[in-house]
Structure 1
């Protein structure tokens, strides 16, 4: 009953379940840019998961030093063309240390994607819990949690992350620490989104019917409100992942993120900033990996947002999409409706 009521209350809403998933998939599949981005993201995830297998296939690992492959007389520049590219080292070696660059890139994908996804999970959990609690609580609870959320939103993210990461002992696992710090410092916006959406949903008829039937507050939240929060939360979470990758790279670049010998794209960029002339591939490869990953995740997140809410215009429109919509509008306008059916017959 509640599902039927929500479909009637929200214009354009579809019945939940399989049909809603099919409609979402059909809308997402219609966006070519989003599907290409999804393929790129899937490939990156596959590379990150298969990092041990790929490095074993190459016969290298990300931490072993190869001093014989760098020219100590020139300050540690890799010996050979293109940064020491060979059959044993597919992308060359790292300056000064001689560590395999391909192995560090694929293991860096593990760290960058893992930190971003972990931080996003913490942000979603904290934001939804605080937002729903604020919307369902009394006036004092709402005021308190809303002010806490405002403080979190107003905090300068990088400064707070730098301060927190600087005081934690070095023996704490750094990737986990970076994910927790980003998650705890940057959940405010999704908390505001969850609170605003919950305030809207709890005024609908099916929520009032559940309340009149004797359901408790948290049962209503779990059974009736959380499914309605899924679309905005998933949309914003998809857009937070590339932002968190950039934050992790920035923290590692500043020297407070992931520490050596753990491979991270941001940490590689931090070490490569003095080698852009002598060994440009050491700078360009992690920078290109970051650029492609952030771009693909951003395009995919925007496609998910548009598929979940087709009434919202996409921020990353492509020409083919506009032309397709224009053709569909023209074909719809050309079809004779009931009003001019007689004219068409005559």
Structure 2
């Protein structure tokens, strides 16, 4: 019933809603690192979405073999300089198979980002729903949900994921399976506990009590009163879950239980590249560099979102900035 409660604003305090979004954007714009990271993430997403168009422009695809472009006498090393880079193969070709590296990298971005985003959606849905149920339910519901979340938080993700992925039939779509396993096994337990704690705090506020006294049901109170207050911490946690899920997907593919060939994946490419780092270093450096840039950009963006949503928290990425500003101010005062 918050829309029915009249709030008296202090001078300089803006109203919620659209003005809150403007304040968030204003705070985010002051963080140059976060803006650069957002641009990098947007570029990576655009590359992933436009992978068919980009590979069509190159005239290649990620699955066609080109045996004439590798030297079979040397074990399948690409022929030509820089791993076979040319006008037809912009980043060279894969050792032994001759498949185009640019096509496999761009299509691999679709798998890595898609699996990470899908897993994050599953984690957020589970964490928010169960956290709200625990916070609004009775003592036994709260205890049951909390103990279940504790069990999943303590589970060794890689061991459980390896076991589940090994027993599922190969006919099941592998990217979907990886996303479901990662989303159901990890991440959501911590989010559920965080949402539960926040729900317990929010339901004590006056506007929630007013909504309850007016006869609103539990579901309506959760949807109209609690979820808006949970948006900031959930968005912050979600932004930090995505790079973690990308790393997990790459690790599972590296261990051979993730996405299966011929579907390209950055982790899968790293698995096959471990014996080629001397003869064809670009085969290792390109997917490793793509993973590094993606995880770094998403982590920096997540930190920027966290700081913009909670301006009282100092960004971990701006350590030392305050000292520099104090030094500049001291120099200006001395002059």
Match for residue 106 of structure 2? Answer: 106
Partner in structure 2 of residue 143 of structure 1:
143
Query: Per-residue deviation at 1:320?
Result: 4.7
- Equivalent in the alignment of 2:217: 216
Give deviations 1:242-294, integer Å, cap 9, x for gaps.
Answer: 00000000000000000110010000000101100110000000000000000
SS of equivalent to 1:161: helix
> Offset of 1:15 from its aligned partner?
2.9
1:325: how far off? 8.3
Change (3 A) 1:100 1:325: farther
CA distances 1:13-70 after superposition (whole Å, capped 9, x unpaired): 8532110010000000000000000000000000001000000000000000000000
* Residues 101-180 of structure 1 mapped to structure 2, 5 A cutoff: 101-180=101-180
Write out per-residue CA displacement over residues 170-192 of structure 1, whole angstroms, 9 at most, x where no aligned residue.
01111111011000001111111
Q: Distance in 1 between matches of 2:328 and 2:195?
A: 37
Q: Hey, what does 1:192 align to over in structure 2?
A: 193
The aligned residue for residue 249 of structure 2 is: 248
Q: CA deviation at 1:322?
A: 5.9
Provide closer, same or farther for how the CA distance between residues 168 and 321 of structure 1 changes in structure 2, counting only shifts above 3 A.
farther
- TM-score norm. by structure 1 comes to 0.91
Name the residue aligned to 2:60: 60
Aligned-pair CA distance for 1:130: 0.5
Q: 2:317 aligns to what SS in structure 1?
A: coil
Q: How big is each residue's C-alpha offset from its partner over 1:317-344, in whole Å with a ceiling of 9 and x where there is no partner?
A: 255566458889xx9xxxxxxxxxxxxx
* Structure 1 residues without counterparts, runs of 5 or longer: 332-346
The answer for the alignment partner of 1:339 in structure 2 is: none
Partner residue, 1:75: 75
- Residue 301 of structure 1 corresponds to which residue in structure 2? 302
- Scaled by the length of structure 2, the TM-score of the pair is 0.94
Between the aligned partners of 2:189 and 2:169, the Cα distance in structure 1 is 26
After superposition, residues 222-261 of structure 1 pair within 5 angstroms as: 222-261=223-262
* Preserved contact between residue 131 and residue 193 of structure 1 (Cα < 8 Å): yes
Residue 27 of structure 1 is matched in structure 2 by 27
SS at match of 1:255: coil
What per-residue deviation string (whole Å, max 9, x for no partner) do you get for residues 291-323 of structure 1? Answer: 000000000000000000001111222555664
The whole-number CA distance in structure 1 between the counterparts of 2:212 and 2:204 is: 11
Q: Is the 8 A contact 1:3 1:16 kept in 2?
A: no
Once the two structures are superposed, residues 70-120 of structure 1 have per-residue CA deviations (whole angstroms, 9 ceiling, x without a partner) of 011111000001000000000000000000000000000000000000000
Cα distance change on mapping 1:274 and 1:300 into 2, 3 Å: same
Give structure 1 regions of 4+ aligned residues with deviation exceeding 6 angstroms: 6-9, 325-328
Q: Which residue of 1 aligns with 2:288?
A: 287
1:158-213: per-residue Cα shift (whole Å, max 9, x none)? 11111111111101111111011000001111111111111110010100000000
